[in-house]
Chains A and B, each alone.
Chain A
């Protein structure tokens, strides 16, 4: 059974710092991996989706990488801002319907 782990559960950094969030998964037979952002009291917003054949995806200050063989993905945030404060979740898609497994998230706090 696929398990998705995100460490640390919480992270606090000063504004302007570059940071990396980690996601690990136990079964490398994945279809894609998605990173989401969740603001307090809100739903999840998709940030980046990496297909299993890809190594990385970029959107603005965000870069997500995928290493299937080691069961790891990282989300790199450049020049962090207080507006980046949120919970970041990764989810691994096994390819079949209803087979998206979520990690429990990393709560990021960026201090001014």
Chain B
């Protein structure tokens, strides 16, 4: 059972370049999330998708776009990367509305913008 799979694991970009981070889950979860984790700042929510076809902004959405391609896949796009977007990005999913349903995380994408 793969759980939440993120690609790529590592990426280095130059300022101004674009890229898409991919995320897929195989647990039939309805809700998916993108977080970034920075030293001293903890985990912060970028965007989330409550269900297929819907997306909403989180705490730090500026500079990012998302697409909920289908129930399994939720991608995060950086249109013009900036050094401030150097971070570790985590995708997560859950069965929202189900009691005792925890959040499941992928192993992260480590992004460096030079």
A: residues with CB less than 8 A from B are 34, 36, 41-46, 49, 51, 89, 91, 97-98, 100, 102-105
Contact = CB atoms under 8 A, between A and B. Distances in A.
Contact of A51 (B40, B100, B103): B100
Contacts of A104: 40-42
A44 B90 contact: yes
Contacts of B101: 49
Given A42-B107, A46-B102, A104-B41, 9 more contacts: A36-B105, A46-B104, A51-B100, A97-B48, A97-B96, A98-B45, A100-B45, A102-B43, A104-B40
28 contacts: A36-B105, A41-B108, A42-B107, A43-B4, A43-B90, A43-B92, A43-B106, A43-B107, A44-B43, A44-B92, A44-B105, A45-B105, A46-B103, A46-B104, A49-B101, A49-B102, A51-B100, A89-B43, A91-B43, A91-B103, A97-B48, A97-B50, A98-B45, A100-B45, A102-B43, A103-B42, A104-B41, A105-B42
Interface residues of B, number: 25
A43 B96 CA distance: 20
A46 B3 CA distance: 13
Nearest to A31: B99
Interface in B28-44: 31, 33, 40-43
Nearest to A34: B102
A8 B105 CA distance: 24
Contact of B105 (A41, A43, A97, A98): A43
A34 B99 CA distance: 12
